[in-house]
Amino acid sequence: MIATGSGSRLLLLTLGGTIGSESGAQAGVRGLVPITGADAFVAELAPWLDGIDVVPRGFRMLPSSSLLLEDLLALRATIEDAAGEGFDGVVVAQGTDTLEETAFVLDVLGAASRLPVVVTGAMRDREAPGPDGHANLVAAIDVARSPDARRHGVLVTFADEVHAGRYVRKRSATHSGAFTSAPWGPLGLVHERQAHLPFVARSSPVLAAPPSTTSVPAVALIGTGVGDDLRVLQALPDLGYAGAVLEGMGGGHVSVGAVEAALAAATSLPLVLCSRAGVGPTMRGTYGYPGGEIDLLERGLLWGGFLTGPKARLLLTLCLMSAPDDLPGVFGHYVW
């Protein structure tokens, strides 16, 4: 079944990753490397694209762990251009290591304000038994050309589920259904080539994209555990860091022996408190002991809300670039 929306003109942007990876043996490389790009995908998907004009464009050819924020800002600019080039939607295919971060940055920066933007990838490479890249791409295309996709912000389609780019995260390093939006759940699903999107993610103000001439500040992501005194935090300013995110234990807690280092760091640079648990929110009004979230937040740390550490790090970086004079206020718009 071909869903409504036949005749759509979509832009497919590929960035590399498992979805385009093959054996690097011919190049003398052991293991998988990104090789296949947008042109090959469109040719291979032709049997499932009847009446759909998918324009291929190779954007990057990198493992997603090597993508930089500069790449994501350039990707947002390319999507903005696509909205003025007559495209009805954009599909982004990349590696899954940082797929959630790409979707989050694009959503915060309003990349889907003028046309649907859907991000996807694959967990099984092209040479594995039962590769999932083609199925995920077709599903993403079906979502991008659905009229219902226009009111949801940036979306992620994976294993026939549709997630809000703001909330999606990778929950498994190897499982084919690797993505979740816990604790909220997906917005919808793809069934028989139709996108069903009964739920709408809460919208937030669009954060202005920083000027292309703005340098990207260094923001650290620091975890903690039993007995960690977090002395590394005190070294961050001298190492050139402009901010940091602290992934606390449980609801956002640190050892009593780490309180001094955390508070000292918070006087030198913006320090965001998140939970290392992965599914939030970080608490802010329950535990009052030294090193508990009440103690830390009352003494200057920023509340990370429902953000994971990696997303909070990117958001803090963008805020430092775009809104340094009102950083706590602007940051707080995106933590729910």
Q: Of the candidates 193, 191, 202, 167, which has an alpha carbon nearest to the alpha carbon of residue 181?
A: 167
Rounded Cα distance between 185 and 171, Å, is 13
Q: Is 68 exposed, middle or buried, given 0-12, 13-18 or 19+ CB atoms closer than 10 A?
A: exposed
For residue 69, the surrounding DSSP H or E stretch is helix 69-83
Question: Which amino acid makes up residue 61?
Answer: M
Q: Is 157 a catalytic residue?
A: no
Which position among 18, 98, 157, 180 bears the catalytic label?
18
Residue 224 near residue 246 (C-beta atoms within 8 A): yes
Packing angle of the helix pair 309-322, 69-83 (nearest 10 deg): 70
Residue 323 near residue 210 (C-beta atoms within 8 A): no
Rounded Cα distance between 46 and 12, Å, is 13
Strands 194-196 and 188-191: antiparallel
Q: Give how far Cα 86 sits from Cα of 53, 83, 89, 140, Å.
A: 12, 6, 9, 19
Residues labelled catalytic: 18
